Structure formats: structure tokens, C-alpha cells
A and B are shown apart, each in its own frame.
Chain A
Amino acid sequence: MIYDLRRADARVKWLVTCLLATFGIAYLFGAWMVGLYAGFTPQAVAATYAGPAMAMPMPPESTVIVQHPVTLAELGREERHTVDRDLLVQDTHVHVPMYGVIAAALAVVVLGLPLPRWAGYALIGLLFAAPWLDFAGMWLTKLVSPAFAVVTVAGGWAMGAGYTIVAALACWQMWGPEKGAAA
């Protein structure tokens, strides 16, 4: 262990707690945003990221006009949020570095936990693999097949799991009852 959160100065514990709380709030609002704009199922993620490009037919030989009646309700149904390739380029550029910083911050917390070396490697790997999966899923969904939406969903769950494990272990180690304290 490089440092020990259990024996760290109270100010360090307070810093880590505030950091985890801040990330937790950000994740909760992230979940809210996902619910509003993408969805939590592979089908909803595929509809957001695959977009019409996946189903784009070949252009007709000559321009074809189709007319049909439409209702106001049907017009409103078209308002699903989709992410096209250009927007995904932008999202990847903006969010991947931030994901890396968050994973690194959580990994620093992991270094202070009394875990076996293999568990430390696994947890740090999970923290970084989650955003890779998240964005790999989005790109594969867009470029290869909507079936890859499940990779994005898995990445999101992995991110939630990584954060929860680190936060729970750190809070327990920092603020839980000390072993042998009663002796």
C-alpha cells in the first residue's frame, strides 16, 4: 500500500469524502440525463447512437415523392434525441479525458485501501475499462451494428460499479469502526 487511508490525516479523509460525494452527485445527475436523452436499455441506446444512418437505404435512381396524412401527435413523436457521428466525435473528444481524470482520482483512492495487489489491479482496471467500454460501445453501435449498444450499457454499469465499490470501501475504511479500538 502506497499510503493508508485508515491512518491518513483527517483532512485527507475529508478531502476524499468530499471528492466521492461530488462524483456521486455528478453520477446521479448523469443518470438523470441519460434517462432524459438516451435510455437505460440496449434498444434505447441503439436508437440514440445508431441513428438513421444504420437504416439508410440506397438513394433512389430519381427523386421520389411520397405523400401521406400526418397528425400533430405523429409530428411530436419524431423528437427522439440522436447522436450523429460529428456529435459523437465531439463527445468523445470532450468526455474521454474527463473520464480519465475521474478514473485516475478514484484510482488514487484505491491505492490507499488495504487490498491485495490483484484486487488493486482489478479495481483500477475496472475504473479505466468502464469509460473505454462506454465509448467503444457508442462507436461500434454507430459504425458496425446496433447490437453493440449492450457494450455501452455494460460500460455504464461498470462505471457505476467501480465508483460504488471504491466509495463504499473508502468510506468504510475511513469512517468505520477501527479494529482493536476497544482493546
Chain B
Amino acid sequence: MIPIIAWLAAAFVVRPAHITPTVILVKRPEAVKTLLPGAATFVAREVHLSERDAHRLHEAVDWSPDDGVLAFYTGLDGDRPVGTIMFVRVDTPHGPVEVAVAFAPTGEVSGVLVTKATVETKPWVAEAVRAGLTAAYRGLRPGAPVNGAATLRDKVGSLAAYMAEQVDKGVARALAAYGAFYNPEKA
């Protein structure tokens, strides 16, 4: 009887609220180290969008950052910029996916990592990544079409292909944000 009582007591203290569990695939610091190798120090550039600019971004990629702020993190080796990274979340009916997109100092995409998924979508994301999804984004510049999912056609299942389309969205958002707002004086 004592184990039953202990078990019930343990059950009493639970608080089963409902959340869709996010799974961290790559921790942000690890993603930064991987995508910006050699960077020793970092600078955050937070772009607080005006209503007009937020609308412009929304028109372009059907997205606005949660709090109206775009955050870019630039890695430096001494005074030399190594690259810039941004984290973009894409909400899907199966929960959020987060994509880390790194840009070389010359402005093209130097690397992409999927940093977060959910318990449900993790295996689909993993299948898409194994099939070479993230490699498809290298070299893209702002304004270029993002078709990583198309490169996986016939290589992955339908759910992995679906998640690849969501990652495409994240990369497209990062490209649009970087192109328009990282160096606004040049835009």
C-alpha cells in the first residue's frame, strides 16, 4: 500500500498544463560557434522597426518579428567581422521551428542550422537536414529565391518535405530582414 500512497502523493503535486514541447536541436551559442567560426567577440544589432518598415517586411515575407525587433549578431575576430547571424522562428501547425541563418561579411548566406523544432517535427526536420537541405541555402543573397525544399524532391517523405518548406520560409525571412535592415543606409 505504501508504494501506492507514494505514487498518489507524487501525482498530487503534478501540474499538468499544456504546452507544445519545443526541442532544442542546437543551442544558440553552439550554433553561433558553428556558423561563425573564429569569432571571439560579438555585437548585437537590434533594429526596432517603425510601423512603416514592419509593414514593408510583412508585405515582403508575410512575417513580423514578435516584439517588432530584428536582432542580428555579428561575430568579430579582433576588428574584423567574421559574419552575422540571425535566428528566425516559423510557426507551423505542428509547433514552432527556429532557423539560424549566417551571412558572410560579403552578404551571402554562409550557413544555416535548424536550431529548434518540436517533439513531433524533430524527426521530419532531421530527415530533411540529412538529405542536404541546409546546404542548398549557401551562397544565397537577399532577393534570391529560396527553394531548398525543391532540391529535396523525391529524396524525402512528404512530412520532411513539408518541414523543408517551413525552413525555406525562415531563410527567406532572414534574407529579407538582412537585405533591408542590416545596413539600412545601403538599402
A69 touches B13 (CB 8 A): no
Interface residues on A, range: 35 or more
Whether the Cβ atoms of B68 and A87 lie closer than 8 Å is no
CB pair A59 B50 closer than 8 Å: yes
Cβ–Cβ contact A164 & B184, under 8 A: no
Interface bits A77-112 vs B (CB < 8 Å: 1, else 0): 011010110110011001100000000000000000
Give Cα A164 to B17, complex, Å.
16
Tell whether, in the assembled complex, residue B66 and residue A91 are in contact, meaning their CB atoms are under 8 Å apart: no
Q: Given that A53-B66, A67-B45, A153-B15 are known contacts, is A37 also in contact with B29, CB under 8 Å in the complex?
A: no
Q: Name the residue in B16, B22, B67 with the highest tally of chain A Cβ atoms < 10 Å from its Cβ.
A: B16
A117 to chain B, nearest CB (A): 25
Pair B17/A79 contact, Cβ less than 8 Å: no
| B side interface size, CB within 8 A | 47
Residues 164-183 of A contacting B (Cβ, < 8 Å): 164, 167-168, 171
The residues of A that contact B10 with a CB separation of less than 8 Å are: 28
Question: Does A51 have its Cβ within 8 Å of any Cβ on chain B?
Answer: yes
Q: Which residue of B lies closest to A40 (CB)?
A: B15
Known: A65-B184, A68-B44. A91 touches B20 (CB 8 A): yes
| Contact (Cβ within 8 A) B11 A28 | yes
A36 within 8 A of B: yes
B25 to chain A, nearest CB (A): 12
Q: B13 touching A31 by the CB < 8 A rule? A: yes
B54 at interface (Cβ–Cβ under 8 A)?
yes
How far, in whole Å, are A67 and B11 apart by their CA atoms in the complex?
48
From A40, A55, A69, give the contact of B41 (CB < 8 A): A69
Question: In chain B between 65 and 81, which residues have their CB closer than 8 angstroms to a CB of chain A?
Answer: 66-68, 73
- Which one, B27, B44, B181, contacts A76 given CB within 8 A? B27
Question: Closest CB-CB distance, B9 to chain A, in whole Å?
Answer: 8
Q: Which of A31, A36, A62, A68 contacts B15 (CB 8 A)?
A: A31
Smallest CB gap from B53: residue in A: A63
Chain B residue nearest in CB terms to A23: B11
- What 18 new A-B contacts, CB under 8 Å, besides A57-B68, A67-B45? A24-B11, A30-B15, A31-B16, A34-B15, A34-B19, A37-B19, A38-B19, A48-B19, A59-B51, A60-B50, A63-B50, A64-B50, A67-B44, A75-B42, A90-B95, A155-B17, A159-B15, A171-B8
Binding site for B on A (CB under 8 A): 24, 26-28, 30-31, 33-34, 36-38, 40, 45, 48, 51-53, 55-57, 59-73, 75-76, 78-79, 81, 83-84, 86-87, 90-91, 94-95, 134-135, 138, 152-153, 155-157, 159-161, 163-164, 167-168, 171
